[in-house]
Amino acid sequence: MQRYNIITGTVTHAIKGRDILLQNGYSKVRVERTAKGIGAYGCGYGIVIDTDNIANAELLLRSNSVKILKIV
């Protein structure tokens, strides 16, 4: 499994995204403050996720109107 940081910008989108992922079977998911430099978006929030299929996770989030700024 690989670890990804899905940078959502706002914390509301991060929490919403986390809940959607948890409801859809992703278990290793949490909301974290984004370290400056990771996404070049200054301070902010994101979803940390361990998964083998980030493309599916991204699709799931985007289809539920979660704003994704960047995935690193």
Q: Which residues bind other proteins (CB under 8 A)?
A: 9-13, 15-16, 31-33, 36, 40-45, 65, 67
Give least dist CB 45 to other proteins, A: 7
Least separation in angstroms between CB 29 and other proteins: 14
The tokens for 64 are: 């539920």
Min dist CB 40 to other proteins, Å, is 8
Give per-residue burial for 45-59: e unless 16+ CB within 10 Å, then b: bbbbbebeeeeebbe
End-to-end CA distance of the chain: 14
Nearer to other proteins, 11 or 72 (CB): 11
